[in-house]
Amino acid sequence: MNPYLNKLHAYPFTKLAALLANIDVQSNNDAIAMTIGEPQHAPPKSAVDALVAELSGLNKYPSTQGGLPLRESIAAWLCRRYQLPLGLVDPVTMVLPVVGSREALFAIAQTVVDSSASVEPPLVIIPSPFYQIYEGAAIMAGAEPLYLPCDGSNDYVPDLDSVTEAQWQRCQLMYICNPSNPTGAVPTREFYQRLLELADRYNFVIASDECYSEIYFDELSPPPGLLEVCHDTGRDDFSRCLVFNSLSKRSNLAGMRSGFVAGCQATIKAFMLYRTYHGSAMPNHHQAASIVAWNDESHVQDNRVLYREKMQAVVPILQQVMSVEIPAAGFCLWAKLPIDDERFAQTLYAEQHVKVLPGQYLARTVNDYNPGVGYSRLALVHSLDVCIEAAERIVACLSEINRVG
């Protein structure tokens, strides 16, 4: 077996299952899961109709590169969304459709990391807390993850100044999540500009995971993107820069597994070579549905309205018993708890039949500090009524804990 497999951590949901395995649910309440970021809103009918209409093509193999119409729709969307000059993103050389961003975020490390480059293993820099795929990708590529703690002291954005000169010298890839999963933090343009300078100086690739980019609450201030900052700073070749996005959160199409990676031509070319052997090609009927979804913004705006309503309703309820704010973007709350996060998850499940994810499972301990300890990620993916009920159950649970001491 590959020895790197032994270095992988148990996935957060595996840890949660073990934590709750011997818990007897004492409540007759219906189960509510606030653990996984799986949107429960209806997908756009137009995309579903396009998928069904293309089912007659099931006898045809899809191209690993994806059809040109899909790549053109993605390139056009990027230009519209980030106010880039039309045609700046070349659909032929700068865009690669992928089967959900998850597989691409993992596979990009296998493409760009050179573990034979020095005696010491290369570094892949990861914000903490983080989407666990980044860590697994780094380990399986033969790299060493370097975790940058993100908490209230740095507005939940990685502190680039905390990385030493020697560490930058070893860095080959840095993952950024914008907006952050799980905190909802959005890096500033100045952060990206500094990161671009560092990438040039130390020759590493920036992988910007922007899968939550379309769930924000101020229609006049969408989160900036890496390619947008590249253009603003005259970096129109997007050198060393890649962005990842998908239709899972934006369009409630998580089950369709449709996303893309876009940016630096040289890196896209190498990634295409890797994926030629990796074998992940998007089915043609999924491509047809994806074109429709990327070309439509009305359902995305409707989606944001629903999440905005839930945030505005749920956060004031939860603030009765914990420290939590509406995030800059995303549909998760990063809630600071008055008790241990594992105890909270166990008690809430037992007494109220609500599942939540302990924050410490989404981060790593560095120098005896885990920025996820004492937090919980609450995904507001259900209907407004269900989210309100979940919040009320959380208040009841913590109020009872506080009463009995």
CA–CA distance, 15 with 13 (Å, rounded to integer):
5
Q: 346, 347, 370, 348: which is closest to 359 by C-alpha?
A: 370
CATH code of residue 349? 3.90.1150.10
> For position 402, what pLDDT does the model report?
84
> For position 405, what pLDDT does the model report?
65
* Bridge partners (DSSP) listed for residue 215: none
296, 315, 338 — which closes off a domain?
Answer: 296
Per DSSP, helices labelled H in 155-297 are: 165-170, 189-202, 226-232, 247-250, 265-278, 284-294
How many other C-beta atoms can be found within 10 angstroms of the C-beta atom of residue 278?
18
- 193 plus 224 within the same structural domain: yes
> For position 275, what pLDDT does the model report?
94
296, 329, 356 — which closes off a domain?
Answer: 296
Domain that holds residue 342: 3-42+299-404
Tens-place pLDDT, residues 232-282:
999 999 999 999 999 999 999 999 999 999 999 999 999 999 999 987 899
Q: 336, 17, 330: which is closest to 177 by C-alpha?
A: 330
- 144 plus 76 within the same structural domain: yes
Asked whether residue 356 is domain-assigned, the answer is yes
> For position 297, what pLDDT does the model report?
98
Q: 325, 354, 337: which is closest to 401 by C-alpha?
A: 337
CA–CA distance, 303 with 286 (Å, rounded to integer):
21
Asked whether residue 195 is domain-assigned, the answer is yes
Asked whether residue 54 is domain-assigned, the answer is no
Tens-place pLDDT, residues 342-371:
999 999 999 999 999 999 999 999 999 999
Asked whether residue 236 is domain-assigned, the answer is yes
- 315 plus 382 within the same structural domain: yes
- 348 plus 269 within the same structural domain: no
- 289 plus 303 within the same structural domain: no
> For position 47, what pLDDT does the model report?
98
Q: How far is CA 20 from CA 34, 336, 357, in A?
A: 14, 21, 11
Q: 140, 133, 138: which is closest to 171 by C-alpha?
A: 138
**CB proximity list for 241: less than 8 A, separation 6 or greater:** 196, 199, 205, 206, 208, 226, 227, 230, 235, 263, 264
Assign 3-state DSSP to the chain and report helix, strand, coil percentages, each to 5: 45, 15, 40
Has residue 139 got a pLDDT over 90?
Answer: yes
- 13 plus 155 within the same structural domain: no
Mean pLDDT of 207-222: 96
Q: 235, 251, 305, 232: which is closest to 100 by C-alpha?
A: 251
Mean pLDDT of 377-392: 98
> For position 404, what pLDDT does the model report?
78
- 8 plus 71 within the same structural domain: no
Summary mean pLDDT of the chain = 97
**CB proximity list for 359: less than 8 A, separation 6 or greater:** 129, 182, 334, 341, 372, 373, 374, 375, 376, 377
Per the structure, how many domains does the chain have?
2
pLDDT bin (cut points 50, 70, 90) of residue 121 is: very high
> For position 403, what pLDDT does the model report?
80
Asked whether residue 50 is domain-assigned, the answer is no
Inter-residue contact 125 to 148 (CB < 8 Å): yes
Mean pLDDT of 58-71: 96
Mean pLDDT of 153-163: 97
> For position 92, what pLDDT does the model report?
98
CA–CA distance, 135 with 149 (Å, rounded to integer):
14
What angle do helix axes 101-112 and 265-278 make, rounded to 10 degrees?
110
* Bridge partners (DSSP) listed for residue 394: none
* E strand spans, 129-282: 144-149, 171-177, 205-209, 241-246, 259-263
Residue 194: is it exposed, middle or buried by C-beta count within 10 angstroms (0-12/13-18/19+)? middle
pLDDT bin (cut points 50, 70, 90) of residue 175 is: very high
CA–CA distance, 402 with 405 (Å, rounded to integer):
5
